Amino acid sequence: MPSMDDTMLSPLLTITLRTLWICGSALILALLVGVPIGIALGSRQFVSRGLLVSSVNAGMGAPPVVVGLIGSILLARSGPLGELELIYTPYAMILTSTAIALPLVIGLTLAAVGSLDAEWDLQVRTLGIGRRWRIWLLVREIRMGLLAAIIAAMGGILSEVGAVRMVGGNIEGETRVLTTAIMMHTSMGEYEEALGQAAVLVGNMLVLAGLLTWIQQSGRSRG
């Protein structure tokens, strides 16, 4: 569906699809960036490692609304990144959600790598396995930990409301997602609409969480 014609699809469906698109993109981006960083941090010892790991831990606890605030200041037209014209676009929302989820992904990946044998990499190297394949094997070894990271990040991204509202503006037809719409309808006193959207949101979360849990459990039994 390259272009969504709003009159053809019901508004609720449009908002839902947009929500899934924005949240999914943020999740994928957070994984693409965060997993390699987590692996790199978890595998090696180097001088500034302690500092970086502390930052990651701090980032995991950082309030999303703070990320939203910083994002809206940076991306505003008058801000340093104003030229990019990202403010009040879905891309700003994706970037902000990614920034919120990133420390979580890095932290959980790091923990997963840390749970491996200290000499895991050496042992695999001594089998003469090349770097690319070693990375593949590593990801395979930590896949359960990665799944936990995905589940956690997904939950956080889907429920984000304040930060994405700040950088997205909740513009109808463009940057309105389920969470910001729920807030808006609630502040207008339109509880029926809000509840309907809430049901869709929770429903989506349940389906996705269920799917991931199923993968997790079947992976576990397979060992």
Partner 1 sequence: MSTTPNRVALSAHALLCRRGHGADRFELRVDRLDLHAGEVLVILGPNGAGKSTLLRALAGLDRSVDPRAIRGPQGPTTLVFQRPTALSGSVEGNVRAALLGKGVPEAERRDRVHRALDRFDILPLARHDARTLSGGELRRLALARAFVLEPEVLLLDEPFDDLDAAGQRHLSLDLQEAIRETGVAVAMVTHDLRRALLLADRIAVLSHGELAQHGPRDEVLSHPDTPEIAHTVGMTNVSPGRVVRREEDLSWIEIEAGFEVPTTATLDVGVDAWIGIRPEHLKLDVGRGDGRPIGKAVVESLVSDGLASVVTLRVHDRRFTTHLLSGRGLARRLRPGDPVSLAVQPDQVHARLS
Partner 2 sequence: MFRIRTVLLVAALWALAIGAPPSADAERSLILATTTSVRDSGLLDALLPRFTETSGIGVRVIAVGTGAALRMGREGNADLLLTHAPSAERALVDEGVVARRTPFMQNFFVIAGPETDPAGIARMGSPAEAIAGIVEKRTCWVSRADDSGTHKREKALFRDAGLAPNLERDGLIRTGSGMGLSLQIAGQRRCYILSDIGTFLAFQERVHLVPLSQPSPSLRNVYSLLQLDESRFARPLHREEAEALEAYLLSPSTLEEIGAFGRDRFGRALFTPLTPADAPMQPKP
Phi-psi region of 85 (alpha: psi -120 to 50; beta: other; left: phi over 0): left
> Is residue 127 part of the contact set for partner 1 (CB under 8 A)?
yes
> Is residue 189 part of the contact set for partner 2 (CB under 8 A)?
yes
Give the per-residue SS3 of 116-181.
CCCCHHHHHHCCCCCHHHHHHHHHHHCHHHHHHHHHHHHHHHHHCCHHHHHHHCCCCCCCCCHHHH
> Is residue 89 part of the contact set for partner 2 (CB under 8 A)?
yes
Q: Provide, rounded to whole angstroms, the least separation between the CB of residue 22 and partner 1.
A: 34
Q: To 5 degrees, how large is the angle CA 80–CA 173–CA 19?
A: 80
Q: Are 205 and 155 in contact (CB under 8 A)?
A: yes
Stretch that binds partner 1, among 66-74, 92-100, 126-134, 153-161 (CB under 8 A): 126-134
For the record, the structure tokens of 69 come out as 């605030």
Contact set for partner 2, span 3-32 (CB under 8 A): 3-4, 6, 17-18, 20-21, 24-25, 28
Q: Are 128 and 188 in contact (CB under 8 A)?
A: no
For residues 54 and 191, which CB has a smaller minimum distance to partner 2 in the complex?
191
Q: Which residues, 6 or more positions from 154, have their beta carbon under 8 angstroms from its beta carbon?
A: 23, 27, 208, 209, 212
Contact set for partner 1, span 129-168 (CB under 8 A): 129-130, 132-133, 136-137, 140-141
Q: Provide, rounded to whole angstroms, the least separation between the CB of residue 46 and partner 1.
A: 13
Per CB under 8 A, residues contacting partner 1 are 116-117, 119-120, 122-130, 132-133, 136-137, 140-141, 223
Per CB under 8 A, residues contacting partner 2 are 1-4, 6, 17-18, 20-21, 24-25, 28, 76-78, 82-83, 85, 87-90, 140, 143, 169-174, 184, 186-190, 215, 218-219
